[in-house]
Amino acid sequence: MRYSKRDRRPRPTNKPLRSVPAASTPATYDGARLCRDGSVVMRWQAECGTVDVVYPYQSQMTTPIQTLEEPIVSRLAGLPDTWKDDVNPDNAVAVVVGPGFHGNQGPELTEYAPDRDHKKTLLWTMLAGILGRPVPFWTYHLQDVEVLLSWRPGDAPVEVPVQPDLDTDPLTRLAGTLPPDSAAWKALMYLVWSAYSSDSAAQWLKDAAGAGGDDVITFPLQPMAAHRQVNLRDLPAEDQTVMRVGWREILERRDGLARGAVRAASFADIGPQLFPYSLPIELPPEHRFYTEINDRLTPSAWTAGHERPLRDWWFQSSDAEPLWDPITDTPALRLPDGDLRVMSPHGTLAPITEAILIERHQVWMRTDEKHIIPPPQNHNLDMKYGYSGGGTAAFEQFLKAWLKTPTPHTTDIQAERCTNALASITDHTWPVGTTINRDQVQLVLNGEPAQHVIG
């Protein structure tokens, strides 16, 4: 799409925009165009010359969020020329809107000029002064291109649905094949509803408003309230149980639609926490417990659940041998190089009798039936020992939960510190092979020195 008929050849300024004085008259808006990568470029004819404000397309479909600012920078620098012609064909001064904020000074801005090899940071208030009018801004949660391309200064904001923070298409397609109100249907739809929550978009707009008042920033788009606002973290325990039951049904399926739903849910902030199992763990053949676990794995058909230990997209399902761990009741994979991928359970029915500290700061567990298992842990917290950090905080929380019950669940394990006494266990670099039982943990909590009780 090209600019409007009012489009003029650019009038480039010879100095950085930071040094340009505030305009005495408002800039003329020459319209917007859509680039091939999804970026929107709004062109302004200001007193100082032509200014293109580039809004890179950003997606929440991956974790972490990937910004397209750097590819655009390369194109503005002329690499490659075909893309440069698409993003900035007229060599106008370009101001790229970044993915974050300059503290309370509003959204990030970076100036790129064709006659200068370096970039300059710009504040939102400066750009508003140069244009002599409020500058449009929208969060990546709101990217209704149809509205943005037809927007004109002075238009009232348009309420639009938020962009979901994960690919909901396989979730809704699978839900459409299930009986409404079944456990699997609820598991899918709760995740879909949470993805369309407008809370994050509203907070981003509130943060952006810190750049100044209505004379500095304007919002063409506003978040439309979702039909049903769902926060998975605040679900009642009964609904979380229903979701786990529903996801177990989905994970046991073998069709491609179920596999796609599992892949989509794996990128959700809390989605995998509602699976019966959470974190994939890789075991090379030299791992201390490789042989013990490998010998108990049984052959399995490929299920949707095997998408979780696969996780890395450079492996295809045809490259791995699907297996099942009968002790933890979780899927496993044997990769082409012989490595195993096993899953950390969220909990275990068999009581845990000891924690075993091994190489690479790893923590493993042994049950009362003498089976070795990965530790119960959340999908984004790899339990560790021997230093201070999130992994050791999770271990500390596990020890606290373990004292209450020999079968702790990850709902009781968060990345928060408990007591200095427990930290004396988790943060210490114990000899490889050290074992810890519940009685020892209780003694340390009662005041006994950890190195005396355990060492």
Give domain status of residue 262, yes or no. yes
DSSP-based three-state secondary structure for 7: coil
282 and 336 share a domain?
Answer: yes
Give domain status of residue 213, yes or no. no
Is 66 a residue whose pLDDT tops 60? no
Mean pLDDT of 3-26: 67
Tell me if 278 sits within 8 A of 346, measured CB to CB. yes
Tell me if 439 sits within 8 A of 433, measured CB to CB. no
Is 25 a residue whose pLDDT tops 90? yes
Mean pLDDT taken over the chain: 82
Which tens digit of pLDDT belongs to each residue from 98-157? 877 776 778 888 888 765 556 788 889 999 999 999 999 988 778 888 999 999 999 999
286 and 265 share a domain?
Answer: no
269 and 301 share a domain?
Answer: no
Q: Give the whole-angstrom CA distance, residue 390 versus residue 395.
A: 9
Name 440's Cβ contacts closer than 8 Å, sequence gap at least 6.
453, 454
Is 432 a residue whose pLDDT tops 80? yes
Question: Which residue range forms the structural domain that includes residue 171?
Answer: 162-207+220-275
Name 92's Cβ contacts closer than 8 Å, sequence gap at least 6.
10, 12, 43, 49, 50, 51, 52, 114
Instruction: Tell me which of 345, 379, 398 is where a domain ends.
Output: 345
Mean pLDDT of 355-373: 94
Which tens digit of pLDDT belongs to each residue from 307-324? 877 655 445 566 789 999
Query: For residue 315, what are the CA distances in angstroms to 161, 259, 286, 320?
Result: 35, 15, 21, 8
Instruction: Tell me which of 345, 373, 388 is where a domain ends.
Output: 345
Mean pLDDT of 358-374: 93
pLDDT of residue 372: 95
315 and 378 share a domain?
Answer: no
Give domain status of residue 271, yes or no. yes
Give domain status of residue 150, yes or no. no
DSSP-based three-state secondary structure for 278: strand
Looking at residue 378, the DSSP 8-state letter turns out to be -
* Percent of the chain surpassing pLDDT 70: 83
Instruction: Tell me which of 345, 378, 401 is where a domain ends.
Output: 345
Give domain status of residue 152, yes or no. no
179 and 249 share a domain?
Answer: yes
Is 354 a residue whose pLDDT tops 80? yes
How many separate domains does the chain show? 4
93 and 186 share a domain?
Answer: no
Give domain status of residue 143, yes or no. no
373 and 330 share a domain?
Answer: no
Give domain status of residue 425, yes or no. yes
* Percent of the chain surpassing pLDDT 90: 43
337 and 372 share a domain?
Answer: no
316 and 358 share a domain?
Answer: no
Residue 284 identity (one-letter amino acid) = P
Tell me if 324 sits within 8 A of 300, measured CB to CB. yes
> Which carries the bigger pLDDT value, residue 155 or residue 418?
155
Which tens digit of pLDDT belongs to each residue from 200-242? 777 778 777 766 778 889 999 998 887 777 878 788 888 888 9
Give domain status of residue 322, yes or no. yes
Q: Give the whole-angstrom CA distance, residue 196 versus residue 90.
A: 38
271 and 291 share a domain?
Answer: no
126 and 31 share a domain?
Answer: yes
282 and 334 share a domain?
Answer: yes
pLDDT of residue 65: 29
> Which carries the bigger pLDDT value, residue 89 or residue 367?
367
Q: What do you get for the CA distance between the two ends of the chain, in Å?
A: 71
Which tens digit of pLDDT belongs to each residue from 169-182? 999 999 999 999 89
